[in-house]
Each structure stands twice: as C-alpha cells, then as structure tokens.
A and B are shown apart, each in its own frame.
Chain A
Amino acid sequence: MGTFDFLLQGLLVAVQPMNLIYALIGVTLGTAVGVLPGIGPALTVALLLPVTYKLDPGGSLIMFAGIYYGGMYGGSTTSILLNTPGESSSIVTALEGNKMARAGRGGPALATAAIGSFVAGLIATLALAFIAPYIVKLALVFGPREYFALMVLAFVTVSSAFGDSTLRGLTSLFIGLTLACIGIDQLTGQTRLSFGVPDLLDGIEVTTLAVAMFAIGETLYIAAQGDRGPDKVEAVKGSVWMSAMDWARSWKPWLRGTAIGFPIGAMPAGGAEIGTFLSYATEKRLTKHPEEFGNGAIEGVAGPEAANNASAAGTLVPLLTLGLPTTATAAIMLAGFQQYGLQPGPLLFATNPQLVWGLIASLLIANFMLLVLNLPLIGLWVKLLTIPKPWLYAGILLFATLGTIGANPSVFELGMLLAFGLLGYVMRVFGYPIAPVVVGLILGPLAEQQLRRALSISQGDITVLFTSPIAAVLLVIAALALIVPLILRARGRGQVLAQLAASED
C-alpha cells in the first residue's frame, strides 16, 4: 500500500468521535499553555502523562501531538500582544509582531501568524506522511552502532551546538545522563547509584524530573525576579482580517518559512527556534520594504511563525521513524509512547500502522481546529493573559504536584520533585539550559543499551563503532557540531549562537 492508502486509513481512525475529542482537548490545552508565559508544551505533556496512562494509547498520543501543535500557535499570540514570548520559538515573532500591535495592526499580525501556522502545519504534516516511509526503510538497515551514533549526534546538537556556552550545555547533558544511570541496570539487573534506597530502584521518573525542572524551577525563577509591575497587554484594535496587501506580502514568507522550518525540525538539530531565526533573516534580506523591518513588517511575523510550526511537524519525523527525540517536548512524548509499551521506530510502522497513521492524520484535522480556535476565538485567549500572576503560578504548582501525586503519592516522590525544582532554579540562575537534562535522562538508557549491544556483537572491539560508513558519518557530524561552535565562540562569534539558544520550556 502507498502512503495515500495509509493516510486514508489513518483519517478513518482520526475521525472516530473519541479521537476527535482527544484532538480537540489537545489543541485547546496546547493553545492555552502556548498563550500563558512560563509554561510550555513539554511541561503540559509531562503533567498529563500520569493522568492519561489509563486511557487509550492512540487517543492520548493524538492529544499530546495536539498540545505540541497548539503550543506553537498559542505562543505567537503572547509574543504579539505582550512582547513576552509564550514559547522560546516565538521570540522572533515578538520582534515585528509586537511593533505591529503597538501600531494598531495587532489583528493582521495575529491573522498572518495563525494562517501561516495553518499553511505550514498542513504542508509539513503531509511532508511528514510522505517522507516517513522512506526513512523507515532507511532505518531498517540501522544496527545498534548506527543508532548509537545517531543518539550521540542528538546529544551534541541538543546540548552544545547552540546556546551561549558549550560548557554549560554539556554539563546539563551529563547531569541528565548521571540521573539516567540511577536504578536497576537493564541488562544485568545490577543496582546502580541507588545507595540502598528502594524508591530509587525504578530510576528517576521522567515526569517528576520534567515537571520539577520546567514548572517548579521556572516558577521559583520568576518569583525571585520580584514584582516588576504588570506587563502591558496590547488590545487588539481594528479588524483581525488581513487586507489584500497583507495577503500578497504574507504568502511567500509562509511557504519559505515552511521550507526552512521542516528540514531543520526533521534533522537532529535541537528545536524550532533555529528555523525561526533563519526564516526571519531570510525575509529581512528578501523584503521589498526593508524600512519596515524593526517597525512592524508583516513578513517578519509570517515567515518565522510558519517556520516554527513546520519544524514542530519536522520533529515528529525522527521521533516516529527512529524513536529519536530532538526537543524536550518530543523527548517527553517518547516517554508517553513508552508508558504504553510502545517504542517509536521502524517497527511501530509495521506492527501498529493504525496508531501511527491515525496520529499523523489527526494532526491534519488538528490544524483545522487550531485555525478556528486561533482566529475567531482569539478574544478568549487574550483574556487568559490578564490572569494575575499570583493566581496563575499558584494554579500551575497545584497542577504540577497533582501529576506527581497521582502517579505516586509518596513523600519521597514529592521530595524529589522539590529537589529537582531547586536544581532547575539554580540552573536557570547560572544560565544552564534545561532541555539537555531531560533529553539525557530519556535518551541516556537507550544510548547505553545500543552501545552495549554493538560492543557485545563485536566482543568488546571499540573500533566497530567507526567502521560502519553511516555510523562514521554521523559521528563526524556530531564531532563537528561540538567543535565548530567552540571555535566560533573562541573567536568572538558566539553572539549568533547565543541567539539561537534552544531553551525550550
């Protein structure tokens, strides 16, 4: 069967009423968390993991993916109206979008962001559907050593290729890898780093770590900034509809943003932010109205917003076909798959096509839902921005602890939540990125497993890791991704990389 048949079958799964409801819940929650500053899709999926583990796997995964897409839409609203990006991938949108809102053009800015996100989401999801089967075929020739090399590449790109310091990125990653060692060794059953504490035998729960690092760490950090006075929400003045001129200036940036965002999301390159910066730079160079850039150019909203949605879809390519997460949200979605005993990868396409294609097809539907949620209903989301901070963060901590208590109502687990929350706070104060810790915890055991398998096959001969051409190429790219930024920073060119910081929350 071809991709079309699979996609049609997937659509049949996706239009089942229950799945439509899950998708609707997902995109609504996703938009809400995208709009609210301080919480993002990674945290939301982490919070929902314990709540959903008794539900149907297909439906829950559809919901998680809806949250991811919704977060990308919602982030733009906050950027445009508040000048505080709701998501790190919306930082660029704030540059031009907030200027447009101040000039009374908030409506068209929101519209071009929403429609651009829709166009990009649609094209990129179709691209995901058509590319995935080829990557699955490619992945079938992958052995343990190729997987190990791929994971090393993901470690490097997530932790150190971008951001302002290789040292801090790598330190975060190794903290995550250390935490990943805690518990019972998967191959020999030995206990490692659990110091006789029975609660540690199962290892560190991904949800506990993610919720603590993202929700509690962020809350503490924001509280510690003290009262800086209320943020100013720009009212949406005038029509939300775009004029013919706006359309004419927007459609090319949408397509270019999609073309830039999707491949970057699909490569293990660490997040949606990079695509948005590249798209912004491209639009700035190609525009016929250079004088407007910096004062509210619509191209500067249309391109990056399309790029961040396209890269969200792109991220699903390595996640579904290889089981390789390249962002914090994808990493937690992987944990979601694992909670149902499913391992994303080439096998999942063979053993559970209904689930995979249902998920992809429901993303197409989710895009339509998001367009409706984010254009006619935009007023509702703007109201969310007016919730006072004390109530907002008190509520966030209530739900943050709810997830952990629901999974394991023990004093020990809550103690870990508090300890990791403090760790996340201290790491934020000193500028350490958070995403590598989470990726390290989730991907660490998988990488170790593949490494030990590869070396068992070769009877301990380490050179086997470099003798497969695919693995060797991947490791060389990983080495370059580690060394080139180091040289750039040493020569004082680190500014650009710091701007591309992949600090996804």
Chain B
Amino acid sequence: MNKGNHPSVETRRPDRAALIIAVVLAVIAGLIFWDVSRLTGLAGYSQIGPTTVPYVIACCLVGLAVWTAIEAVRGDFGHEREHQESGPVLWIVGGLAAQMLLLNTLGFSIATGILFAMTARGFGKRMLWLTVPVGIAFSFVVWLIFAKLLQLSLPAGPLERLFF
C-alpha cells in the first residue's frame, strides 16, 4: 500500500469524481450531527432515544466517506463510466422543472404536455410543433380518465375549465 508515494503514481491518478462523492457523504454526516445535536437530553431511561440511530448512521457515513476517499486516491474506485451526453439530460430536467412550475397555473394537461414534448426532444424528436400538441392532447385524455373517472385530484387549468 506504500505505492501511493512512488513516482509511478501518474498511472493511477486520484479519482476527482469519487473524491467529490466522499466529500458529499461527509457533508451529509455533518448535517445529521448538526441537526441531531439539538435533540440531546431526551434519551429516556433506556439511554436510547431519537438521536441514537441518526448518530450511528452519521458515523457509518463518515466511515464510508473515508473508504471512498481512500479508493479514490488509490484509483481503484473502479466502475468504468460511459460517456454521458448532457444535452438530452438538460432537456428532460428542463421539462420536469417546467411542469413543476406551471402545474398550478396552467393545469395538468398543458404542464404535462410540455414535459412530454421536452422528454421526446431529449430522445431526438425535434418537432416541438408536433410533440407539444400531441403531449397536451394525450395528457388531457389521461386527466379525463384519472381525475374524472378515478377521482384523483389533478390540478385543473384553463384547458380543463374550458370543458368542465
């Protein structure tokens, strides 16, 4: 294991992404410690209270963070990552964000239709003039089935109020 200081370390560079994961795990552990420290003194007579299990989990997360960091530095975190294209991911995330923000003003059908079209765009269907209307029509049918037939509460917007 002393190879870490050897000049030949160039072939095994520290894994940046894995190091970031280690830091994130440590930060989560820190958050748990910080939050749960407010609750001390409530352990009760069994000396085991609401804080015990979170503390154990936080300690394990610290351990896992250290383990990840060691593997990152030694370069054997392993797992080959395939090339990821960011364009499609951004389209779909954008679609989900648009649906989230528009849902309560424009209603289920329009907001979900936009999500539908942007997801299709992420998978290579570029014709938004076609996919947006198709998505809205399809979402409206779904809204009819679930909101009217199955009594699920899906927010209505201008389009839904036009008909009901």
Contacts and interface: CB of A to CB of B under 8 A. Distances in A.
Interface of A: 50-51, 54, 164-165, 167-168, 170-171, 174-175, 177-178, 181, 185, 187-188, 190, 192-193, 195, 216, 219-220, 223-227, 389-391, 393-395, 397-399, 401-402, 405-406, 409, 411, 414-415, 417-418, 421-422, 425, 429-431, 448, 451-452, 455-456, 458-460
B119 A402 contact: no
Contacts of B104: 409, 411
A401 B155 contact: no
A224 B87 CA distance: 8
Contacts of A460: 45-48
A389 to B, nearest CB: 5
B162 interface: no
Contacts of B93: 220, 418, 422
B19 interface: no
Nearest to A430: B79
B95 A397 contact: yes
Contact of B53 (A188, A398, A448): A448
A170 B86 CA distance: 28
A477 B124 CA distance: 49
Contacts of B101: 411
Given A220-B93, A398-B142, A455-B46, A415 B21 contact: no
Contacts of A164: 78-79
Contacts of A455: 46-48
The size bracket of the interface on B is 35 or more
Given A405-B108, A409-B153, A411-B104, 12 more contacts: A54-B151, A171-B68, A175-B28, A192-B39, A219-B92, A390-B120, A390-B125, A393-B119, A398-B112, A402-B154, A409-B103, A456-B48
Interface string B38-63: 01001011111110111001001100
B159 interface: no
Given A216-B96, A390-B123, A406-B146, A397 B89 contact: no
B85 A185 contact: no
A178 B50 contact: no
B46 A224 contact: no
10 contacts: A54-B151, A171-B21, A171-B68, A178-B61, A188-B42, A190-B42, A223-B91, A223-B119, A406-B152, A460-B46
Interface string B119-148: 111111100000100010011001000100
Contact of A181 (B54, B68, B91): B54
Nearest to A194: B35
B64 interface: yes
**5 pairs of A and B residues whose beta carbons are closest in the complex:** A431-B79, A223-B88, A460-B47, A390-B123, A390-B120
Interface string B90-115: 01110111011101100010001001
Contacts of B92: 216, 219-220, 223, 397
B61 A398 contact: no
A224 B119 CA distance: 12
A40 B117 CA distance: 23
B105 to A, nearest CB: 11
A391 B100 contact: no
Interface string B17-47: 1100100010010011001100100101111
Contacts of B42: 188, 190
Given A220-B89, A398-B112, A452-B46, A167 B82 contact: no
B55 to A, nearest CB: 10
B8 interface: no
A430 B100 CA distance: 27
A431 B25 CA distance: 16
A410 to B, nearest CB: 8
B103 A193 contact: no
B84 interface: yes
